[in-house]
Structure 1
């Protein structure tokens, strides 16, 4: 991906302008590809000047990263809300059967939310198509934040004797691999079947509990 650069410092900008730029960039990047989308086109679609786009995001690479990070932050909010809804301390989870039901509800809600999110489906496509130039994603905090949020809950249930694990972070990675990654990796997310996603999530949680559930 060629990079249109500017030496001017990136500034915070107004929230509504930033949101408009990100929405326009996401739509154009997905429709035409990052290489074939000009900063002029993004500015015109967002209703701002090209200078504003450069001032806010630095260059096209910075804009692409901002689109992906924005979607990742939204997904993290969704994840944490699903955790609060299904896995909170006061959720009434008292045995391994109850924990499996709660984890299944959590995984299914998260999976269907991801499937229904146009931001998520667009971001998956952008990451897949531009992986070679998005090396900074490997060390970005958002790359580990979802697993760490799940790991905190798994550690809680291990402390209560419902799970057997000395490494909640590894358990979270396994949980993710059996559910979200299995449901969406390598798939055209916007063509997924919600029922298929729920089946994978349900079966994945069952496999996870067979491996980690307290005996």
Structure 2
């Protein structure tokens, strides 16, 4: 039976699991290695998570939840009540694209999720960040600042326009892209988005 146990110990196991899964992938990662990294016994890992599969899924979910919280905060800071829509979209895109291209953890998690999607297809089903962005774009539509009859589609296009070129040029984080280049590509992406959805 899985138990809740100590929050500090659970957090230590989660951090250790993330490190080992990112380094080794799901198949090669061992519970022994995770337990050693966390400084707990193998039995404790099983007591807290039940098994390797549940530990993997929980670790990915908890890590993504942290990223999603940061994304919501970015939306609050940039798109909640913009005085200048183009500038607000640029600031959103700049921060988002920079974070994606510079965060080794985010890049590694994306690679891990893609690699393991065949065994865990549900990993790629939920897109909470796209939904959150779609909600903001719908609100801007209601205010008459954008024309987005399909906010989910618009959110997908905006995400691709502000991050796609940087992801491509950085080979998904393998090569560093300078901030001036990021800013230039994001600015172009925002202007293309506004040419399609602006009023």
Task: Provide the TM-score with structure 1 as the length reference.
Answer: 0.81
CA deviation after TM superposition for structure 1 residue 108, in Å: 0.8
Partner of 1:99: 85
Distance change >3 Å, CA 55–CA 194, structure 1 → 2: farther
Q: Secondary structure at the match of 2:2?
A: coil
Q: Contact 1:108–1:201 (CA<8 Å) still a contact in 2?
A: yes
CA deviation after TM superposition for structure 1 residue 71, in Å: 2.0
Taking the aligned partners of 2:119 and 2:68, their CA distance within structure 1 comes to: 23
Unaligned stretches of 5+ residues in structure 2: none
Q: Contact 1:115–1:192 (CA<8 Å) still a contact in 2?
A: yes
* Residue 191 of structure 2 corresponds to residue 206 of structure 1: yes
Partner of 2:131: 148
Q: Contact 1:75–1:114 (CA<8 Å) still a contact in 2?
A: no
Distance change >3 Å, CA 191–CA 167, structure 1 → 2: same
Taking the aligned partners of 1:211 and 1:61, their CA distance within structure 2 comes to: 43
Q: Contact 2:161–2:189 (CA<8 Å) still a contact in 1?
A: yes
Q: Contact 1:150–1:172 (CA<8 Å) still a contact in 2?
A: yes
Alignment partner of 2:172 out of 184, 188, 208: 188
Partner of 2:59: 67
Taking the aligned partners of 2:58 and 2:165, their CA distance within structure 1 comes to: 26
CA deviation after TM superposition for structure 1 residue 161, in Å: 1.4
Taking the aligned partners of 1:155 and 1:56, their CA distance within structure 2 comes to: 41
Q: Contact 2:94–2:183 (CA<8 Å) still a contact in 1?
A: yes
Partner of 2:116: 130
CA deviation after TM superposition for structure 1 residue 194, in Å: 4.4
Alignment partner of 2:140 out of 157, 161, 165: 157
CA RMSD of aligned residues (A): 2.1
Matched positions, count: 197
Taking the aligned partners of 2:53 and 2:167, their CA distance within structure 1 comes to: 25
Taking the aligned partners of 1:33 and 1:159, their CA distance within structure 2 comes to: 44
**Moved >6 Å (runs of 4+):** none
Q: Secondary structure at the match of 2:144?
A: coil
Distance change >3 Å, CA 198–CA 12, structure 1 → 2: farther
Partner of 1:55: 47
